[in-house]
Amino acid sequence: MKLQTSLAAALALALTAGAAGAQSWPNGPVQLIIPSRPGGGTDVMGRIFADFLQRHTGAAVAVINQPEGGGVVAQETVRNAAPDGQTLLFQHTGMLVGIQTGRYSHGLDEFSVLGIAQSYPPQVYAVAPDAPWQTMREFVDDARAHPGQYTVGVSLGQATHFIAGTIMMNEGVDLRLVEASAEVDKVAGIQGGHITLGNLGAGSARQYVTSGDMRVLCMVDPVADPDYPEFQTCLDQGVNVSWIAPLLVLGPAGIDPAVAETINAAIQAMGDDPQVAQSLAAADSSFVAHSLAEANAIVQQEDQHIAELARHLGLAAQ
């Protein structure tokens, strides 16, 4: 009887400790590590999240920018942090590109996926206004008939390279890749005739279309955006090309599952915050709540997709 009583007491204590651990998060100031310079797209999105998290939890949330090493320094800061949820990484799926190409030597299993905060603004593929194609379907059919004739602007080895790789792998076309990291470089290349096709933010693309300087062939996002009804998705045109750009909240591996659920619940609460909605609208972004299990499934699926693309492009880590 004494043994049973002791076991019951120990179990109750363990359950109480676990609940207390979850309830105590955050246990002091939170550091949000952002792998970009102040003012960049990821930084702007990260600060929206940090402001919300501070208001929602009442804890101080310090944004720390660590752009060095293309995100490696920021990722290492979080990977080596204590697994208590007090140090978080705000990163996009470009991190997965680094993992699959070997530019970052630590895998996704060395992190805890805690949630998806929001997404990057929608992207489109655009061409010059006098280009012979009205849709992405027309472009892909033409490119398939003329392998290697057309160019696409990308940041080599980065996410835009992999988006272009999706066109080539899924649609069986051969495009020549031209280095054009910044959107302004793609616009200049398209207008100058050096680049056939380039991806742009939907907001800026709309301005170029209105001024007669660009033609949009399709939206890259998998689902049509009600804010851009004039842009049809590639998928809706029967072109098997889509790309999602979720912004992830990650922690080091080993975070207590109850703490992870608490952090995820805080992330999901963004969807009910009017100030967040206003800030995201101004940034041309959006938020969809995902449970911890859903977020992990999405990230794992993207990791597998990027691994397949890396192999197709000859960029896979050896």
Predicted local confidence at residue 23, as pLDDT = 55
Residue 102 lies in a domain: yes
Q: Are 72 and 102 in contact (CB under 8 A)?
A: no
Asked if 48 and 75 sit in the same domain, the reply is yes
pLDDT tens column, 206-238: 999 999 999 999 999 999 999 999 999 999 999
**Cα separation, 40 vs 126, whole angstroms:** 23
User: What is the reported pTM?
Assistant: 0.86
Q: Which of 147, 144, 149, 177 is nearest to 163 (CA)?
A: 177
Q: Which of 82, 98, 125 is nearest to 316 (CA)?
A: 98
**Cα separation, 249 vs 33, whole angstroms:** 10
Read off the DSSP letter of residue 241: -
pLDDT tens column, 243-255: 988 999 999 999 9
Asked if 200 and 252 sit in the same domain, the reply is no
Asked if 141 and 275 sit in the same domain, the reply is no
164 lies in which domain range?
A: 123-237
**Cα separation, 288 vs 299, whole angstroms:** 15
- Among the candidates 173, 202, 237, a domain finishes at 237
Q: Which of 73, 75, 79 is nearest to 92 (CA)?
A: 75
**Cα separation, 90 vs 103, whole angstroms:** 19
Across the range 184-208, mean pLDDT stands at 95
- Among the candidates 220, 237, 254, a domain finishes at 237
**Cα separation, 104 vs 200, whole angstroms:** 27
Asked if 20 and 157 sit in the same domain, the reply is no
pLDDT tens column, 86-108: 999 999 999 999 999 999 999 99
Exposed/middle/buried for 26, CB within 10 Å: 0-12, 13-18, 19+?
buried
Asked if 134 and 232 sit in the same domain, the reply is yes
Asked if 114 and 258 sit in the same domain, the reply is yes
Split into its structural domains, the chain has a count of 2
